[in-house]
Structure 1
Amino acid sequence: MVFRHEIKHLINEADYLAISKRLKFIAHVDKNAREGKDYKIRSLYFDNYSDKALNEKLLGINNREKFRLRYYNDDTSFIRLEKKSKYNGLCSKVSTFISKEKCNLLIEGEIDFLKESTEPLFNELYVKMKTQLIKPKTIVDYVRQAYIYEPGNVRITFDKSIKTGLFAVDFLNTEKLTVETLDKRYIILEVKYDAFLPQIIADCIQTNERRATAFSKYAVCRMYG
């Protein structure tokens, strides 16, 4: 498991325009982008009856994890199961492909295929669903623009139009309506990197208005509902 640094900031539209304009000269756009611009992400987050993942985030627990399902640009032919972990301020993500059919089974609570799989992440999710009683909790939608800067393996993303499915878990229904949560004046800037943040990127993302934040898209969507 590889751990990376992650920093987040709430920025406004003017900040976004200034930073993205600078990034275009030194970084390349993520391959998932539609027409070289942005792409849509839909996730389905898991939590238990006592909202363990949510409360650990709100309390700032240092070592924590959460599971989610995810697909891009309304394409349900390629879905991933992911586990995101936080440890001593560093973050890590492991993921694996899950078919649409098995995704449906998982959402419906028919999970025996998880323990029968040779995929370790499936096995781990099975254990957590049995012992911690986690289950699909809510849909989170948003639009992302991402840039890659190869030195330092840096990924810079701008997330906006963050929407919640409230209590809905109809994850594979691409027509499912979701509700805006974050004030549209704000955009979430995230920067992920390995051992060091190159100075050129540190200079590029500087603004006068940005504010450091521990913002969680899952948390804001759950609290909204």
Structure 2
Amino acid sequence: MIDRLTVQNAVDALLAGNRRFTAGEPEHPNQDAARRAATAPSQSPFAVLFGCADSRLAAEIIFDQGLGDLFVVRTAGHVMGPEVLGSIEYGVSVLGSPLVVVLGHDSCGAVAATRAAIKDGTTAPGYVRDVIERVTPSVLATLAAGFTHDDDFINEHIRHTVDLLLDRSRVVADAVAAGDAAVVGISYRLADGTAQIVTARGLTGTVV
């Protein structure tokens, strides 16, 4: 088992970086020539970040991190397939990242499109349909619970993605069970840039 502070410090580092970003005081750490040279032979990111592919959700910027800090995997609506699961598992089992973050955000186009498809009974063209199909369980669960606010749909989809990751990936689930990793769901607000934890697995400390 790794030191629990390693997991905790990873979460704290992300949230501290986000606070710098929202305050307009980013440090832009690990973005110079020395860091580039240091990370060229190998990488040891402190977090795997699986987020929505939205262009406004650039992980290293909104969490004020640099080269080699984050192992980033992104898809529309943070929907998962085998390639995504394999990438996340690589970050945890090979690179040794103690933290996996599922990052969603308000005004998510994938969630909005899914809500519209369910309401209107429409279908999307091409592989966009596949994205909508994978977001559908989250939207249906939110509706079944009687929630109607946009944030409810976003947060439920983040929670569903965290649950699905732990259900489908034995590598990640075992790492969390052993105390070697944590999985945290975070919701990001586009207008003010703040990031808030929605759900967490394997994280027992106090978030600062």
Question: Do the two structures share a fold, i.e. TM-score over 0.5?
Answer: no
Structure in which a larger fraction of residues adopt helix: 2
The TM-score normalised by the length of structure 1 is 0.24
The TM-score normalised by the length of structure 2 is 0.26
Structure in which a larger fraction of residues adopt strand: 1
